[in-house]
Amino acid sequence: MRYFMENYAILKNNLYKKFLFLIKYPPGTIEIGIQNMKNKLILLFEKSTYAMKYGLFYYFLMMSTLVYSQTVIPLYDGRIPNAIDVPDEESSERRDNGILIVSKVSQPTLTIYLPPSEIATGKAVIICPGGGYGVLALSHEGTDVAEEFNRKGIAAFVLKYRLPSDETMIDKTIGPFQDAQRAIQRVRENAEQWNVKPDQIGIMGFSAGGHLASTAGTHFKSQSIPNPNNTSLRPDFMILVYPVISFDPEIGHSGSIKNLLGENPSQDLRGYYSNEKQVSTQTPPTYLVHAKNDPVSIQNSYVFEKALKEFKIPVASTYFEEGGHGFGMVNPTSSVKWMDEVENWMKITIID
């Protein structure tokens, strides 16, 4: 059994490296990697003294985390709008805390996570990782979340959106928004292929990704990409996790504001991207998650919740006393599993 476990760790690490390669060089899939790992695991079982007794248990335990279809595709077909033709300088690193950080993204992709058909609900969530519009926390605010949604029967699409840069974009202030709109458009136009209901496609964002998601949910009438089929670019619901909402200097996150809008944005531009000011009767239902001691002020969620209620938009929340910022799916200071709360809210709010 020790032989099996030692070699499993090596195989798992190799599969992880393949996954990182495919994130950077789309399109592709990790399905072949999963099959290869499966075959190698079977060989390990045959060599393990205790395989007959324990092998089947470990096999299904490990493969249960790999059964979901994961495909990486370019976000756009052909030329990327608003892009400057420059070399791709994207890079990624795994930090000491285990979080995968991706920087200098100029080639946006969509990673598709589809649950097994027998548990699929037809609901879908586009996930925007956070990172202050400077990097993307792609694992604990992206791929890990997608896998959890799949376990709940919900399709998930991790958006690796472009990071604002004057070197790679003609107008960096709209680049991420274009990618969010394109993600909604692409999922909705391929809903049948991906076993998704076109009127149950939501968007989720963490931190600055929450600002992007809330921008998609409040600015959907501002079409920023070609849309020859007049596909609705409005998300059907939003899930905003410790989000940046406002660019008001009193509560906004200065780093996100600077990275998206530049050093000295005008008051009009700040106001335009202060999404609590853009709520209307057509803003989608929203779920908010935030900790009260978050350095990205919880006032961001409070002002958005207030605006939603003023327009009688359904809104629910999980507010933690502690937890700080960037805890992902698990707040270590609380026993509350907010992803389960979100799932229950979706069942009540997003009616078939």
Strand 155-160 with 124-128, pairing: parallel
Looking only at the bridges linking them, the beta strands covering 286-291 and 124-128 are unpaired
Q: Are 178 and 224 in contact (CB under 8 A)?
A: yes
Confirm whether pTM is higher than 0.75.
yes
For residues 155 and 34, give the distance between their C-alpha atoms in angstroms, rounded to a whole number. Answer: 19
Give residue 69's pLDDT. 64
Decide if 244 contacts 253 (C-beta within 8 A): yes
| pLDDT confidence of residue 68 | 58
Mean pLDDT in consecutive groups of 10 residues from the start of the chain, 352 residues: 39 45 40 41 45 44 53 96 97 93 98 97 98 97 98 98 98 98 98 98 98 98 96 98 96 95 95 98 98 98 98 98 97 98 95 68
Lookup: tokens for 296: 């990205």
What's the pLDDT at 281?
A: 98
Looking at residue 57, its pLDDT comes to 45
